């Protein structure tokens, strides 16, 4: 099955392109100490706001820091927050969605209202509120972005559990006396993993954007740690004279999010037999 899935993924143009982009960002993030030409936080004020050149491939920022090095190290923070936030969001979503979908009735009605209520908050607002209460640092950014993504996971998972929960094999497990936990872990969860995988892949892109928004507003990861959102924010003051300071980190965000979105779209096509051509 795994080999089949990989072959199908390779046949999908979206999966291939998205996979290449994601793999490239992951490699850059992992190999940052090797790839980064300079120290990303070392200031060099006489060399501030230099345009792209052979010495500084993407130019320098207002403190003379090498933009290429900062973008390379920024990939680590973006990926780390994106992936961990999605793991946290999908875990919370699983708890809510599985419980609501599996037990149904009053439990479902109450939890569905909780999910609806959470969905009434624009994702960024929810993340901002949590950051405002917990304070700005990397760990809290992961928690804030994770919480803001959890209602979307919960809604998808609840829908999937509802459709799987009525199937014969679940009824059969009940009849032979399997416990609720066993039915959930052995019979339902494996059958709802595919859609979770799709939503999670798309969710990493959204989480990276949310973290970038938080950093842009100065409410995410704090300086001097290089993050793509804060780099765009710092550069906006000089956008008329040194546009590259904002331009390149913005391109890095867009390409990374594009990669995860293409991979997610492609996975959905591959995993859903109705969409498979």
Partner 1 sequence: MPRYILRALGSMPPTLIGVLTIVFLIVRLIPGDPAIVFLGDMATPEELARVRAQLHLNDPLPVQYARYVGGILRGDLGFSLKNDQPVARAIRGVYPFTVHLAVAALAVSAVIGVPLGVLSALNHNRPLDLVSMGVSLIGVCTPLFWLGILLLLLFSLKIPLFPAIGLGDPGDVGSYLRHLALPAFTLGLSTAALTARITRSSMLEVLGQDYVRTARAKGLAERLVIYRHALRNALIPIISIVGLDVTRMLGGSVIVESIFVRPGMGKLLVESIYERDYPQIQAVVLVFALTVIVVNVAVDMLYAVADPKIRYQ
Residues engaged in binding partner 1 (CB under 8 A):
113-114, 116-125, 128-134, 205, 209, 212-213, 216-219, 229, 232-233, 235-236, 239-240, 243, 246-247, 250, 253-255, 257-258, 261-262
Nearer to partner 1, 63 or 238 (CB): 238
Nearer to partner 1, 103 or 243 (CB): 243
Closest CA to 153 of 106, 108, 195: 195
Helices 244-271 and 189-216 sit at what angle, rounded to 10 degrees?
Answer: 170
Please state the closest distance from residue 44 (CB atom) to partner 1, in A.
Answer: 24
Helices 105-119 and 138-165 sit at what angle, rounded to 10 degrees?
Answer: 140
Nearer to partner 1, 5 or 251 (CB): 251
How far apart, in whole angstroms, are the C-alpha atoms of residue 48 and residue 50?
A: 6
Nearer to partner 1, 26 or 258 (CB): 258
How far apart, in whole angstroms, are the C-alpha atoms of residue 141 and residue 71?
A: 19
Please state the closest distance from residue 246 (CB atom) to partner 1, in A.
Answer: 5
Please state the closest distance from residue 15 (CB atom) to partner 1, in A.
Answer: 14
How far apart, in whole angstroms, are the C-alpha atoms of residue 195 and residue 152?
A: 12
Main-chain phi, psi angles of 245, to 5 degrees: -60, -40
Give rounded-to-5 percent helix, strand, coil for the chain: 75, 0, 25
Q: Output DSSP code: residue 52.
A: S
Q: Output DSSP code: residue 156.
A: H
Please state the closest distance from residue 18 (CB atom) to partner 1, in A.
Answer: 10
Nearer to partner 1, 101 or 229 (CB): 229
Please state the closest distance from residue 151 (CB atom) to partner 1, in A.
Answer: 10
Nearer to partner 1, 29 or 253 (CB): 253
Please state the closest distance from residue 7 (CB atom) to partner 1, in A.
Answer: 23
């Amino acid at each position: 099955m795994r080999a089949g899935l990989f072959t199908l993924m390779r046949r999908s143009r979206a999966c291939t392109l998205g996979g290449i982009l994601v793999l490239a960002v992951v490699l850059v993030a992992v190999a940052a100490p090797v790839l980064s030409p300079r120290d990303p936080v070392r200031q060099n004020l006489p060399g501030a706001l230099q345009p792209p050149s052979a010495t500084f491939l993407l130019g320098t920022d207002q403190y003379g820091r090498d933009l290429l090095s900062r973008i390379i190290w920024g990939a680590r923070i973006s990926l780390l927050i994106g992936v961990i936030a999605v793991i946290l969001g999908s875990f919370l979503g699983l708890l809510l969605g599985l419980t609501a979908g599996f037990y149904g009735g009053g439990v479902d009605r109450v939890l569905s209202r909780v999910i609806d209520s959470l969905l009434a908050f624009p994702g960024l607002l929810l993340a901002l509120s949590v950051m405002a209460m917990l304070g700005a640092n990397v760990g809290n950014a992961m928690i804030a972005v994770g919480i803001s993504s959890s209602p979307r996971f919960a809604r998808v998972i609840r829908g999937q559990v509802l459709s799987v929960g009525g199937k014969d094999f679940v009824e059969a497990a009940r009849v032979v006396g399997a416990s609720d936990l066993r039915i959930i872990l052995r019979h339902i969860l494996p059958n709802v993993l595919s859609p979770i995988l799709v939503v999670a892949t798309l969710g990493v892109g959204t989480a990276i954007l949310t973290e970038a928004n938080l950093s842009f507003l100065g409410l995410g990861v704090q300086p001097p740690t290089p993050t793509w959102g804060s780099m765009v924010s710092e550069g906006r003051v000089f956008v008329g004279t040194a546009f590259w300071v904002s331009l390149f980190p913005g391109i890095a965000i867009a390409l990374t999010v594009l990669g995860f979105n293409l991979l997610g779209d492609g996975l959905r096509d591959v995993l859903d037999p109705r969409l498979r051509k």
